[in-house]
């Protein structure tokens, strides 16, 4: 047990270092390419930091263990647990990081058009993914159509996000790097090649750190006899979502609300479209009570964020409510 705890601590440090490298490189990349903070946060950062939690369900479904049923449970739980964690706990922790400086009556003000676009696409896609659970597994063609539709939603989202970039840059929402790129401090020049090297290094560290953290968490959880589905819904997303949580906390503490929220909501769209598309095809994807509860809480959190997406920003107190929704999910699930 001591060895597992040490492993958790070491991998947490790796994730924190990787997140700092990643956010620093992305800011320089966005500035070089003259793209909006919305594109940088919702697409580049969201997809990059979503790699660890994307790999977990894929590895599990393809053959994580010799028990096929356990693989499917871990895969489904990891797919649906990720957006649950992002919309509730990640949002809560990010807001908590600025509670002291902004106050309970303050505002978190991401660029509104991108914020609402992310949430609109996510709500539509996640409702589709939920509906697919009620299609019998034998109806493969219907399930395939749901998967194709979800992929199409993400493609449309990417196109819409890029189309909005130029006007947002002109309106003052361009990505700006606050200081030197970290590799540049070692004496190398800052260009697209070195930015790419730092991004690759950061992503590799994120994946390694998250996978190591998962191994440690899984070992601790098994010692307490947690079921595979509950483990994947509750424990694994905490580890795999650490990159998003840390990146968003770093950005929001620097006043970069658009990057901070785009990193979370963009990952929600990514994980609410492409990963369920895979789950629908490769797993039973059935409406078990733990799964349905998670979907309902996730949709409630996303809808609450959308309701509070106002011109002046979302109230701090309203974003903290997302933490209460996560606690509610824990209470419902663990009481069974």
The tens digit of pLDDT for each residue in 210-232 reads: 677 666 666 666 676 666 666 66
Question: Worst-scoring range by mean pLDDT, 49-53, 183-187, 212-216?
Answer: 49-53
The pairing of strands 314-315 and 107-108 is antiparallel
**Average pLDDT score over residue span 62-72:** 60
Residue ranges of domains in the chain, CATH in brackets:
2-334 (1.20.1420.30)
Number of H helices, E strands in the chain: 17, 2
Q: What is the pLDDT, as a whole number, of residue 70?
A: 62
Q: What is the pLDDT, as a whole number, of residue 321?
A: 96
Distance, CA of 228 to CA of 208 (rounded, Å): 22
Distance, CA of 225 to CA of 102 (rounded, Å): 41
The mean of the pLDDT values for the chain is 81
| DSSP character at residue 36 | B
At 200, is the secondary structure helix, strand, or coil? helix
Task: Kindly indicate the confidence band of residue 55, based on its pLDDT and cuts at 50, 70 and 90.
Answer: low
Examine the pLDDT at 319 and tell me if it is beyond 90: yes
Examine the pLDDT at 18 and tell me if it is beyond 50: yes
C-beta separation of 207 from 52 below 8 A:
yes
Q: What percent of the chain clears pLDDT 70, i.e. is strictly above it?
A: 72
Whether this model's pTM surpasses 0.95: no
Distance, CA of 136 to CA of 276 (rounded, Å): 16
Sequence length of the chain is: 336
Q: What is the pLDDT, as a whole number, of residue 272?
A: 93
> ∠ CA 291-295-298 to the nearest 5 degrees?
135
Task: Name the CA radius of gyration of the chain, rounded.
Answer: 19
- What is the CA 72 to chain-centroid distance, rounded? 21
Task: Kindly indicate the confidence band of residue 67, based on its pLDDT and cuts at 50, 70 and 90.
Answer: low
For residue 180 the two structure tokens come to 């030197």
- What is the CA 81 to chain-centroid distance, rounded? 10
Examine the pLDDT at 206 and tell me if it is beyond 60: yes
Q: What is the pLDDT, as a whole number, of residue 335?
A: 74
Helix H or strand E segment including 218: helix 192-223
Q: How many CA atoms lie within 13 A of 200 on its CB side?
A: 6
Q: What is the pLDDT, as a whole number, of residue 195?
A: 83
Q: What is the pLDDT, as a whole number, of residue 323?
A: 94
- β-bridge partners, 315: 107
């Amino acid at each position: 047990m001591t060895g597992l705890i040490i492993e958790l601590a070491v991998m947490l440090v790796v994730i924190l270092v990787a997140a700092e490298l990643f956010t620093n490189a992305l800011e320089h990349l966005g500035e070089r390419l003259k793209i909006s903070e919305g594109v940088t946060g919702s697409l580049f950062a969201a997809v990059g930091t979503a790699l660890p939690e994307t790999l977990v369900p894929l590895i599990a479904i393809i053959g994580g263990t010799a028990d096929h049923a356990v693989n499917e449970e871990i895969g489904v739980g990891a797919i649906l647990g990720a957006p649950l964690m992002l919309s509730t706990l990640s949002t809560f922790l990010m807001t908590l990081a600025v509670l002291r400086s902004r106050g309970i009556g303050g505002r978190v003000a991401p660029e509104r058009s991108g914020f609402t676009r992310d949430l609109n696409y996510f709500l539509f896609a996640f409702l589709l993914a939920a509906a697919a659970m009620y299609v019998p597994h034998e109806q493969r063609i219907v399930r395939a159509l749901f998967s194709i539709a979800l992929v199409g939603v993400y493609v449309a989202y990417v196109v819409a996000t890029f189309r909005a970039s130029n006007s947002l840059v002109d309106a003052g929402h361009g990505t700006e790097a606050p200081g030197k790129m970290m590799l540049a401090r070692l004496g190398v020049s800052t260009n697209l090649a070195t930015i790419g090297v730092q991004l690759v290094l950061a992503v590799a560290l994120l994946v390694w750190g998250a996978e190591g953290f998962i191994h440690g968490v899984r070992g601790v959880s098994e010692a307490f006899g947690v079921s595979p589905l509950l483990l994947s819904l509750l424990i694994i997303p905490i580890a795999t979502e650490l990159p998003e949580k840390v990146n968003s906390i770093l950005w929001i503490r620097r006043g970069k609300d658009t990057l901070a929220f785009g990193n979370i909501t963009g990952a929600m769209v990514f994980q609410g479209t492409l990963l369920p598309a895979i789950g629908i095809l490769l797993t039973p994807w059935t409406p078990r009570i733990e799964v349905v509860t998670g979907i309902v809480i996730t949709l409630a959190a996303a809808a609450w964020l959308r309701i509070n997406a106002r011109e002046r920003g979302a109230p701090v107190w309203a974003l903290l409510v997302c933490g209460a929704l996560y606690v509610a999910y824990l209470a419902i699930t663990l009481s069974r």
